[in-house]
A and B are shown apart, each in its own frame.
Chain A
Amino acid sequence: MTSNRHNGIFDGVDRVTVLLYVLIVLAGFVSIISASYDDSTARTFSLSHFYMKQLVWIGIAWVTALVVLLLDERYYHMFAYPAYFVGLGLLVAALLFGREVNGAKAWFEFGSVRVQPVEFAKIATALALARVMSNYSFSINRPGDLFKVGMVICIPLMIIILQNDTGSGIVLGSFLFVLYREGLNKWLCIPVLLIGALFIVSFLLSPMMLLLCLILVCTLSEAMMNGLWRSRIIFLAALLLAAILLCLVMALLSPGSLDLYHSLLLMTLVAVAVAAVYAYRSHLTNIFITLGLFVGSLVFLPTTDYIFNSILKQHQRDRILSFLGIISDPLGTDYNVNQAKIAIGSGGFAGKGFLQGTQIKYGFVPEKHTDFIFCTVGEEWGFLGTTFVLAVLCLLILRLMRMGERQEEPFGRIYCYCVASILLFHVLVNVGMTIGLMPVMGIPLPFMSYGGSSLIAFTILLFIAVRLDASTRQFSLNRIA
């Protein structure tokens, strides 16, 4: 492979990916012009305009992409762990010394330039995850290895959540996508998703209902994994009966000392112990994974109320409540989403035309050049424009997955999938929130939202994948020749 170093840096580079990347960046640039154009400002080519600044950032990003392509792909493998720890260090540093913007203490400020270390932590985490999972002896369904993977993902996630940047934190949760590709039992993926959903709606349910749901989800997913339905149903029935019996007996012995919820809780703990013994004796190790998930959730679920009330800020609570339809306040919390929907909806089929969007131009859409940049596309270019942008993004994600599939090394494959999952999550949440499908979380639209640190980070993220893919292709092309 070293013999090929004389080849140009573009050899083996996936041209489709680069083309899609350029398209989406240009679409973003056009939108930023619309979003920040102001008839009243005199000079068109002044650096004080957002779009001129963005032009500079695009230049820097493309230079960065070249640098990424120039580096040998082995460095990415080699420096995965160091980069991960540097990333963690930056996150902690931001938490301690960073600057607070919109309630999140997640920014470094250098002069007029603000950088969000979480953008780079995502790359580092993706690299580290790829490195961990590409070990020869790694088996994803082994509890020990799964624990390692969990650690790699959860440590930065915790720090980011502590920074109060919940949206960016949850991005890392999207690596479940990668884990599934790498063979994680699907009956583990589904309960993870369900438990995630339970966390969101936990304050809607009584503790009793929550506990029942949790037991049901875990037992059923375990039954789906291992078969043996009869014994699982007997187990469930026995647990419920025992809980009710305990409650009745205690009611007779000393009335009021133990209610149904606490009886169930008590019996559940007994049942966990029974299940652990059973797993050990029948050598069904994956039961331990389910049990770990269950106990973890059991410990954390009661804390969601606490998280919801003390860690989340008022505006975040309002956003979640308003998204779930529990509160409605069109002038307050719903205002942003409503205005975003109005802007997009009023675009119609072909849009109002370049620089003609009234909702954008007259400032009705908040954050119109950053998080809500998609509204500009929707209003000025209509359904055609939004479909075009989404098609490009969708193709890029599918292309990344395909690139992953043709890697010979698991490292490259896992990394490509990581990039795809990060992009997918960003697009889903960002576009979803502008059209009312998702609660408002402050995460940017990849390659399109205004902001240097986001654009450069996504460019690096993408081009590392391109670089890894290029060397594979170079190698195989040379071999054919």
Chain B
Amino acid sequence: MSDSESFLRMRTLQVIVILIFAVIVARLGYIQLFDRRYAELAEANVLRHVVQYPPRGEVFDRNGEYLVQSRECYDLMVIYREIDKRGFDTARLCEVAGISRTKLERELANARVRPRAPRVVTSYIPKEDKLRFDEGNFRGFYTVYRTVRQYPRKVGGNLLGYVSEVNDTYLKRHPEYKVGDYVGMSGVESAYEPELRGTKGVKIQEIDTHGAIKGSYMNGRYDSLPEPGSYLVSTIDARLQLLGEELMRGKVGAAVAIEPSTGEILMMVSSPTYDPDELVGRERGNNYMKMLYNKRKPLFNRAVKAKYPPGSTFKLVQGLIGLQEGVLKPSDLHVCHNGYQAGRLKMACHSHASPLDLRFAVATSCNAYFCYVFRDILDNPKYDNVKEGFDVWKEYVESFGFGRKLGSDFLDEGNGYVPDRAYYDRQYRGSWNSLTILSLSIGQDALGCTPLQLANLACIIANRGYYYIPHIVKQVEGQDSLDRRFYERHYTKVDPKHFEPIVEGMWRGVNVGGTSTMARLDGWDVCGKTGTAENPRGRDHSTFLSFAPKDNPRIAISVYVENGGFGASAALPIASLLEEFYLTDTIRRPALLDHVRNMQIHYPVYDK
């Protein structure tokens, strides 16, 4: 081989060596300088983002008393891959966590499916047990700080609602939530979820390949603290609520009290109710199922969802519409001899003086009087036919908040029901008149009102013509005011000047002579109207509508007791006691209190 050939080959080999190194350096330059993916992957390797759950906001009543508190507790988590393969003291772990061995084994089997993902083994470990767990030093297991709800007064189950872990369907609709988050599922918890939940924090930890924690990342520079949820001041009066629940015990129905001058809901009882603490913690699932299968349906919030026939309390609305339409004057007299008769149709009434004017008709709850009024409204010659008249009537009724949601801050509100033309056209194949639907005049037939709507009616009359939208929250931490709709007066289509005779009638019914005399409170000018609603499910429903005092009223209340009989026998005493307690802070009628407390109504419909 010649020297020049050798030289050429030496050069070639040098070039090959340099080329090889150049390729390696180029590749290194690419992955170290340009491809930032690897830096992210490195972080994903060593960093574990531990969610710091914020304590949920607390709820106070209107006097600053706790309705809902948050209590510290811990979730026990496991990352399957990191469990000590040589085994661990299962007996001690079970004992500390308060779970059975079979449950632990089941959870571990589940965790095995995704060995790197954290999984909840059990929740609601109290603080003391958590400290004992920390001593045990179980590899692969760790605890996460959570808060659970606790209810010092044990009132307002349906009202306050409950909190539970998000489920799959909820996650699909709300992608901002993550598995393991708690969310308000009903009542105030659900309506004020964004305010109550707070902001989650994160703690970034460095972990090694076995998942063992090696320290905090960058000395916690990128960590964030959880921000607790805002507290709420509710409009509820806890003591009134407690008394209300006590008085409603043993009866099915609802009682709602509102402050007429603001629309603030003072009390909202749905009976039967439940101890809200039962829907917290490990037994939540079991208790929930028990309630779900309870025939009296304690989870159904009757105060805002039930559709009850309003019965005689609806005569107030009837009278007001009549006055506004000009078909009725307060002094108009009608005759009633134990009822209203038109052809073969007869609407019975009880015995009272006759003829009678509007005020007395309200006080004594005369059926016949309002049959005349109702027919006059519908058959008013102003309108072409009875159906037109019916439409006008319906519009008036809806302006009182019936047949629609009131727009409160309470999410579960029901519509109630006011029948329309189409309904009766279907019902009577198009041929009907004011006589056919006469029972509407006394709040029967297809009419359905929620107890909240009835309480709102009491407010409208107490205010002589307008209402504020009823609401349950007075103040949210960090917010100056509520939504402005809660500060606006909503007028009905009836002029305020027409309200005085109706109020007068209600006052007489209590204080002079009528169906409501038992509701009389000395010095407080109580106004009230009883209602006794026929229904296909047994005994009549008992209802009572009231406000007090007559001038500058402080409380408006509606009580509805299913199958309670006459309005005056069940609903009235409950409403009266609540008014007395709210206005005077005491109860001077212990006998009545005992009578109501011990009143147990028999419900063949529910307790079959």
Name B1-23 residues within 8 Å CB distance of A: 1, 5-6, 9-10, 12-14, 17-18, 20-21, 23
Q: Does B37 contact A (CB under 8 A)?
A: yes
The B interface is mostly helix, strand or loop, or mixed, namely: helix
Residue numbers in A under 8 Å from B17 (CB-CB):
394, 397-398, 401, 420, 424
Q: Does A210 contact B (CB under 8 A)?
A: no
Residue numbers in A under 8 Å from B25 (CB-CB):
386-387, 390
Q: When the two chains form their complex, are residues B24 and A432 in contact, meaning their CB atoms are under 8 A apart?
A: yes
Q: CA A475 – CA B381 in complex, angstroms?
A: 139
Q: When the two chains form their complex, are residues B14 and A362 in contact, meaning their CB atoms are under 8 A apart?
A: no
Nearest chain B residue, comparing its CB with the CB of A425: B20
Q: Does B210 contact A (CB under 8 A)?
A: yes
Q: Does B46 contact A (CB under 8 A)?
A: yes
B373 to chain A, nearest CB (A): 81
Q: CA A290 – CA B96 in complex, angstroms?
A: 78
B46 to chain A, nearest CB (A): 4
B81 to chain A, nearest CB (A): 11
Residue numbers in B under 8 Å from A431 (CB-CB):
24
B33 touches which of A181, A349, A394, A420 (Cβ 8 Å): A349
The A interface is mostly helix, strand or loop, or mixed, namely: helix
Q: Does B38 contact A (CB under 8 A)?
A: yes
Q: When the two chains form their complex, are residues B206 and A386 in contact, meaning their CB atoms are under 8 A apart?
A: no
The 3 closest A-B pairs by CB, nearest first: A345-B38, A346-B42, A362-B208
Residue numbers in A under 8 Å from B1 (CB-CB):
182-183
Q: When the two chains form their complex, are residues A180 and B9 in contact, meaning their CB atoms are under 8 A apart?
A: yes
Q: CA A393 – CA B38 in complex, angstroms?
A: 26
Q: CA A420 – CA B13 in complex, angstroms?
A: 11
Name A371-402 residues within 8 Å CB distance of B: 378, 382-383, 386-387, 390-391, 393-394, 397-398, 401
Q: Does B91 contact A (CB under 8 A)?
A: no
Q: When the two chains form their complex, are residues A344 and B33 in contact, meaning their CB atoms are under 8 A apart?
A: no
Q: When the two chains form their complex, are residues B24 and A435 in contact, meaning their CB atoms are under 8 A apart?
A: yes
List chain A positions with a Cβ less than 8 A from chain B: 177, 180-183, 338-339, 341-349, 358-359, 361-364, 378, 382-383, 386-387, 390-391, 393-394, 397-398, 401, 405, 420, 424, 427-428, 431-432, 435-437
Nearest chain A residue, comparing its CB with the CB of B17: A397
Residue numbers in A under 8 Å from B346 (CB-CB):
none
Q: When the two chains form their complex, are residues B28 and A387 in contact, meaning their CB atoms are under 8 A apart?
A: yes
Q: CA A397 – CA B19 in complex, angstroms?
A: 13
Q: When the two chains form their complex, are residues A341 and B31 in contact, meaning their CB atoms are under 8 A apart?
A: yes
Residue numbers in B under 8 Å from A347 (CB-CB):
32
Q: When the two chains form their complex, are residues B13 and A382 in contact, meaning their CB atoms are under 8 A apart?
A: no
Q: When the two chains form their complex, are residues B32 and A363 in contact, meaning their CB atoms are under 8 A apart?
A: no
Residue numbers in B under 8 Å from A359 (CB-CB):
42, 45-46
B516 to chain A, nearest CB (A): 78
Q: When the two chains form their complex, are residues A363 and B46 in contact, meaning their CB atoms are under 8 A apart?
A: no
Q: Does B92 contact A (CB under 8 A)?
A: no
Q: CA A234 – CA B207 in complex, angstroms?
A: 68
B518 to chain A, nearest CB (A): 78
Known contacts A344-B31, A345-B38; 16 further A-B pairs (Cβ under 8 A) = A180-B13, A181-B10, A183-B6, A345-B32, A346-B42, A348-B33, A349-B33, A358-B206, A362-B46, A364-B208, A378-B28, A383-B29, A383-B32, A390-B24, A398-B17, A427-B24
Q: When the two chains form their complex, are residues B206 and A362 in contact, meaning their CB atoms are under 8 A apart?
A: yes
Q: Does B114 contact A (CB under 8 A)?
A: no
Given A342-B41, A362-B207, A363-B209, does the pair A435, B10 have CB atoms closer than 8 Å?
no
Nearest chain A residue, comparing its CB with the CB of B38: A345
Q: CA A401 – CA B18 in complex, angstroms?
A: 12
Q: When the two chains form their complex, are residues A383 and B33 in contact, meaning their CB atoms are under 8 A apart?
A: yes
Residue numbers in B under 8 Å from A361 (CB-CB):
208, 214
Given A387-B28, A405-B10, does the pair A358, B33 have CB atoms closer than 8 Å?
no
Nearest chain B residue, comparing its CB with the CB of A379: B42
Residue numbers in B under 8 Å from A397 (CB-CB):
17
Q: CA A437 – CA B209 in complex, angstroms?
A: 25
Q: Does B488 contact A (CB under 8 A)?
A: no
Given A183-B5, A362-B209, A390-B21, does the pair A341, B38 have CB atoms closer than 8 Å?
yes
Q: When the two chains form their complex, are residues A345 and B37 in contact, meaning their CB atoms are under 8 A apart?
A: yes
A114 to chain B, nearest CB (A): 25
B35 touches which of A343, A345, A432 (Cβ 8 Å): A345
Q: CA A2 – CA B39 in complex, angstroms?
A: 60
Q: When the two chains form their complex, are residues A378 and B209 in contact, meaning their CB atoms are under 8 A apart?
A: no
Nearest chain A residue, comparing its CB with the CB of B2: A183
Q: When the two chains form their complex, are residues B206 and A344 in contact, meaning their CB atoms are under 8 A apart?
A: no
Q: Does B132 contact A (CB under 8 A)?
A: no
Residue numbers in B under 8 Å from A386 (CB-CB):
25, 28, 32
B209 touches which of A364, A391, A420 (Cβ 8 Å): A364
Residue numbers in B under 8 Å from A338 (CB-CB):
41
Q: Does B602 contact A (CB under 8 A)?
A: no
A340 to chain B, nearest CB (A): 10
Offer 25 A-B interface pairs, CB within 8 angstroms, sorted by A: A182-B1, A341-B38, A342-B42, A344-B28, A344-B38, A345-B32, A345-B41, A346-B38, A346-B43, A349-B32, A358-B45, A361-B208, A362-B207, A364-B46, A364-B208, A378-B32, A382-B32, A383-B33, A390-B21, A390-B28, A393-B21, A394-B21, A401-B13, A427-B24, A428-B24
Nearest chain A residue, comparing its CB with the CB of B23: A437
Q: Identify which of B25, B28, B45, B214 gathers the most chain A CB atoms within 10 Å of its CB.
A: B28
Residue numbers in B under 8 Å from A435 (CB-CB):
24, 27-28, 31
Residue numbers in B under 8 Å from A383 (CB-CB):
28-29, 32-33
Nearest chain A residue, comparing its CB with the CB of B7: A405
B42 touches which of A358, A391, A393, A420 (Cβ 8 Å): A358
Name B583-607 residues within 8 Å CB distance of A: none
A417 to chain B, nearest CB (A): 8
Q: CA A159 – CA B33 in complex, angstroms?
A: 42
Residue numbers in A under 8 Å from B18 (CB-CB):
394, 398
B210 touches which of A181, A363, A387, A428 (Cβ 8 Å): A363
Name B177-231 residues within 8 Å CB distance of A: 206-210, 214
Q: CA A462 – CA B276 in complex, angstroms?
A: 82
Residue numbers in B under 8 Å from A363 (CB-CB):
208-210
Q: Identify which of B5, B32, B37 gathers the most chain A CB atoms within 10 Å of its CB.
A: B32
B137 to chain A, nearest CB (A): 15
Residue numbers in B under 8 Å from A349 (CB-CB):
32-33
Residue numbers in A under 8 Å from B21 (CB-CB):
390-391, 393-394
A329 to chain B, nearest CB (A): 16
B9 to chain A, nearest CB (A): 5
